[in-house]
Structure 1
Amino acid sequence: MIAEDQHRPVLLAEAVEALNVQESGVYMDGTFGRGGHAAAIMERLGPAGRLWLLDRDPEAIDAAEQRFAGDGRARVRHASFGDAVDVLRKDGVHALDGVLLDLGMSSPQLDDADRGFSFRHDGPLDMRMDTSAGETAREWLARVAEKDLVRVLRIYGEERFAKRIARALVKAREAGDLPGTTGELAALVAAAVPYPDRHKHPATRTFQAIRIALNGELDALQRFLDSVIDLLAPGGRLVVISFHSLEDRMVKRFIRGAGEQRDLPPEIPVVPEGLRARLRPIGRAVRAGNEEARANPRARSAVMRVAERLS
């Protein structure tokens, strides 16, 4: 497995600056990963500050507990950010001064063959974010209907050869030859794609789509967006780093919608609370600079959006 210190958090300085961390503030890092962003937030917190650290990956939680053992400012919870409201309410927290989500995969997840997220290292077809629960990617592929697989590949992977790939997988399954490793799946997909992208492995979109579907990633993001405003104190910051267009569109539309005040007839002088704008976008979308992109290729697709809770 890759060493913990080899993981490079994307847009580290920009994200922490966007959070506008106050010494006595209360914050949440909803995707701890290996703690790069969390450590930088901790550096700005004073003794009275608090940081909730969430992740659905048991290995990430182990890393968080080891890294911040004995630090009374940290609260480590094994949970999806989609369930953040329930987790924080249970802990008696009703207002946060900032929330950070980094929706990318961590280097340890991608580089550990046993996790099955990448075809660069041949390993079992697992792909679960939470290895303590749920079915593996191979178990899912063994039962998913062909039409549902086509839909997943088209929507979550934006794969133009979704039908060809789904048919190839179903034929292999019917023949008792369903791929059992990442290398086998990548080879099957590559054989099914007639015109591969010169700059991308033909299985890239398929792996992305299966991972998103298996882990309910967009559902978790939607649950988070539906509830995050109620988590933020007035002036609290929301910072989200996305890595593909589906996530970024969701975040962009959410911030835009929450920043709009609905029109009312002139005879209604006071805007009811439920119709007021609730978020204020902060600046434009932020992308990694050339230097960071060269040093960390995974940063090239990152997009960070920031918003602030209105009174």
Structure 2
Amino acid sequence: MEFKHVSVLLDECMEALNIREDGIYVDCTLGGAGHSSEILKRLGEKGTLIGIDQDQDALNAAKEKLKEYKNVIYVHDNFYNIDNILNNLGIEKVDGILMDLGVSSYQLDTGERGFSYMNDGALDMRMNRDSEFSAYDVVNGYSKEELYRIIKEYGEEKFAKRVADFIVNKRREAPIETTFQLVEVIKAAIPARARREGPHPAKRTFQAIRIEVNRELEILNKTIEDGINHLNVDGRMAIITFHSLEDRIVKIKYRDIENPCTCPREFPICVCNKVPKIKVLTKKPTEPSEEELEINPRSRSAKLRVCKKICSK
């Protein structure tokens, strides 16, 4: 299957990154290489793009799409390791870092990857297929309490307790092995009125399991910190999120790095000597235009937050 992914907020990201011809840029989520191809169009021969993706299918597709460009370094890894990745490449500072935290259309539409409640396939959801831990392990191995926690916390599912109860009861009969089997369990757990009025009944639970399998939230804080440490002064970091939990983490992390002072409010002057490393350029996140929403309905929940490095440390 062809690796397809419509790049979200593409023009807005290019403007946010303020690309220099001779700069070094990191695309932490290379995916279908939509954002990367636009970055490369703006780079000269002395510029460099580092493309990171933990999905080997994405890397292979990106290499094919970007084969005309010689100034790309491909890295099969999780962006959580950005510090080690750049150190191993001998690159101390970069001029821009982009993270598109969405699941690609390819991953959603390829049933065998197990990301989608709309396609039948094995319970997988691994972005890195070298990982041994999958959605099957979460659904069939987690306790009722653990399932409730992640469905409630990561899926923000109102009926999390019922869904967890139904999963545990069903797997007592036999392991739940496919996405459609799981969908049927979730449908049975969600009251009929909520099924009729809300989004697809499995949407929130599938999101929760995917986040858990790929540790999507717990890796964000460290990645943002490490990435900012590797930015040159005036370098930009642009992050696209697709649900409120991610957006909240990015918003709070940016805020804490922009305002690091830990002195009590009553102190007349700062004595902790912590200086801001960044300036947040998006007080409110940038969202897709009506035109983009018409072309790509999956971009509806996207939010872009951007910061600029202002301190050499």
The worse-fitting range, judged by mean Cα deviation, of 134-143 and 148-157 is 134-143
Matches within 5 A, 1:60-75: 60-69=58-67, 71-75=69-73
Other-structure match for 2:86: 88
Amino acid at match of 2:287: R
CA 1:148–1:271 in structure 2 vs 1: closer, same or farther (change >3 Å)? closer
Equivalent pairs, count: 305
Amino acid at match of 1:181: T
Which deviations, in whole Å up to 9, do the C-alpha atoms of 1:80-133 show, x marking residues without a partner?
111111111100011110000000011110000010100111111111111122
Post-superposition shift, 1:39? 0.2
Amino acid at match of 2:65: R
The worse-fitting range, judged by mean Cα deviation, of 253-262 and 47-56 is 253-262
**Are 1:218 and 2:217 an aligned pair?**
yes
**Are 1:184 and 2:181 an aligned pair?**
yes
Other-structure match for 2:230: 231
Other-structure match for 1:99: 97
Runs of 5+ in structure 2 lacking a partner?
none
Which deviations, in whole Å up to 9, do the C-alpha atoms of 1:234-254 show, x marking residues without a partner?
111010000000000000011
Secondary structure at 2:112's aligned position in 1?
helix
Other-structure match for 2:304: 304
CA distance in 2, matches of 1:193, 1:271: 51
> Is contact 2:140–2:176 with CA below 8 Å preserved after alignment?
no
Post-superposition shift, 1:229? 1.7
Other-structure match for 1:287: 287
CA distance in 2, matches of 1:66, 1:123: 27
**Are 1:38 and 2:52 an aligned pair?**
no
The worse-fitting range, judged by mean Cα deviation, of 252-261 and 288-297 is 252-261
Amino acid at match of 1:182: T
Identity, % of aligned positions:
38
Secondary structure at 1:196's aligned position in 2?
helix
Secondary structure at 1:306's aligned position in 2?
strand
The worse-fitting range, judged by mean Cα deviation, of 191-200 and 42-51 is 191-200
> Is contact 1:82–1:222 with CA below 8 Å preserved after alignment?
no
Post-superposition shift, 1:266? 5.6
Post-superposition shift, 1:173? 1.3
Question: Following superposition, which runs of at least 4 residues in structure 1 exceed 3 angstroms of deviation?
Answer: 263-268
Amino acid at match of 2:164: A
Other-structure match for 1:260: 259
Secondary structure at 1:249's aligned position in 2?
helix
Other-structure match for 1:29: 27
CA distance in 2, matches of 1:40, 1:113: 29
CA distance in 1, matches of 2:260, 2:58: 39
Secondary structure at 2:182's aligned position in 1?
helix
Amino acid at match of 2:142: V
Post-superposition shift, 1:221? 1.3
Matches within 5 A, 1:150-189: 150-176=148-174, 178-189=175-186
CA distance in 1, matches of 2:52, 2:124: 22
Post-superposition shift, 1:225? 1.9
Post-superposition shift, 1:261? 4.9
The TM-score with structure 1 as length reference comes to 0.94
Amino acid at match of 2:304: M
Amino acid at match of 1:159: E
> Is contact 1:80–1:220 with CA below 8 Å preserved after alignment?
no
Post-superposition shift, 1:219? 1.5
> Is contact 1:96–1:231 with CA below 8 Å preserved after alignment?
yes
